Amino acid sequence: MDTILVVNAGSSSVKFQVFAVDGDGRLERQLKGQVDGIGSRPRLRASGADGATLADRAYPIEAIADVSAALMVAGAWLRDELRITPMAVGHRVVHGGPDFDRPQPIDYGLVSRLERYTALAPLHQPHNLAPIKSLLANFPSLPQVACFDTAFHRGHDGVADQYAIPYQLYEEGVRRYGFHGLSYEYIAKTLPKVAPDIAAGRVIVAHLGSGASMCALKGGRSVESTMGFTALDGLPMGTRPGQIDPGVVLYLLSEKAMAPGEVQDFLYRDCGLKGLSGVSNDMRELLESRDRRAAFAIDYFTYRVGLCAGMLAAALQGIDAFVFTAGIGENSPAIRAGVAEKLAWLGVLLDSAENARHALKISQDKSRIPVYVVPTDEERMIAEHTLSVLWAAHSNGKRERAS
């Protein structure tokens, strides 16, 4: 059985999924797992497609000291115990820069180019690239494919992508990229199946999780995003501030005498819900807390989602539907209700019962704007892209041999 391994590596965990490929090119998820606690309390967990536990084992800290070691442990478990040897590996890579608007086969040259964008995604890029480099070194003949979170937004008009700074900087790559593109691409591809009445219209999608953003879709294509040059912009997130006056950064540098590295660490790790609440960066903990600052952080979050919805509605020149997705968007009725209140001016009327049971459509029939909850599946999107790149390479090889 041919399989594709999908890898999503972070700073302290490596998430992975395995998809089987049938003779017609259809993908079926076989298992999902992760190695977390890297560098502290490493643990491998995995479950099958039916949810049954396949593995749950702890390791000594020295056995899994970094992301590369975590992937090697997971790979050995797949290979030795499940007899799974993937035909290719697809990777989530957060930043593709100005060069890449579609998935790419991986080689050392590509890795070198992608390393240039580490400063633009310091929480993600180095960890996304670590398992890629490890596989290149240890399994050089194994095909790998990079799938970019920025690629889906690359069709934006110039007025949406440029900053009001000298054009030379835009040519150098200082522009608004947008992120969470794999998630939005999956939603755009799924809407014709689950909500065909809105799929071709003007849809705002809110990807609300520890990392959060929103995207304006028109006819299934991204026309605007709340995120920009880096994954700091837009909505407040677990530890990132979202939209912020650049003067605040200048103040931190000049008046607080913070070094650039300190400012970067502060903006990526100490702000957002964590900074606002002083309690936690986890929305679940904030919702359970009775601390007034936790309540304020929640109000701030829903307020900003509402503000950004107005901005994206302006970009679309109207709105035909609103979609929640990702961890918070899919699982928190309270946050969905809070956001819906901020969208009442658009004619949004939430159905409390449908919202509580996490229905596909959670707005009332008389709501002027229908509201949906659509689970995202970035891993499936990566698997599909990886298979497409393999097919393209195979077809090109056949044509070259024929000529």
Catalytically active residues are: 149
> For residues 294 and 167, what is the distance between their CA atoms, to the nearest angstrom?
42
Angle value at C-alpha 243, between 239 and 249, nearest 5 degrees: 80
Q: Which helix (H) or strand (E) holds 74?
A: helix 67-80
Burial of 247 (0-12, 13-18, 19+ CB in 10 A): exposed
Check residue 258 and report its DSSP letter: -
| Amino acid symbol at 97 | G
> For residues 304 and 312, what is the distance between their CA atoms, to the nearest angstrom?
12
- CB-based contacts of 46: which residues, under 8 Å, 6+ apart? 31, 32, 33, 34, 53, 54, 55, 56, 77
Residue in the block written with tokens 């209140």: 341
* Cα dihedral value 3, 8, 11, 12, nearest 10: -60
| Amino acid symbol at 308 | C
Check residue 87 and report its DSSP letter: S
The H-assigned helical ranges of 162-218 are 167-171, 181-194, 196-199
- CB-based contacts of 158: which residues, under 8 Å, 6+ apart? none
- CB-based contacts of 246: which residues, under 8 Å, 6+ apart? none
Taken in order 389, 391, 395, 398, the sign of the CA dihedral is: positive
Taken in order 123, 214, 239, 58, the sign of the CA dihedral is: negative
Count the alpha carbons within 13 Å of 159 in the hemisphere toward its beta carbon.
2
> For residues 8 and 124, what is the distance between their CA atoms, to the nearest angstrom?
10
DSSP 3-state assignment of 334? helix
Structure tokens that stand for 161 in this block: 């992508």
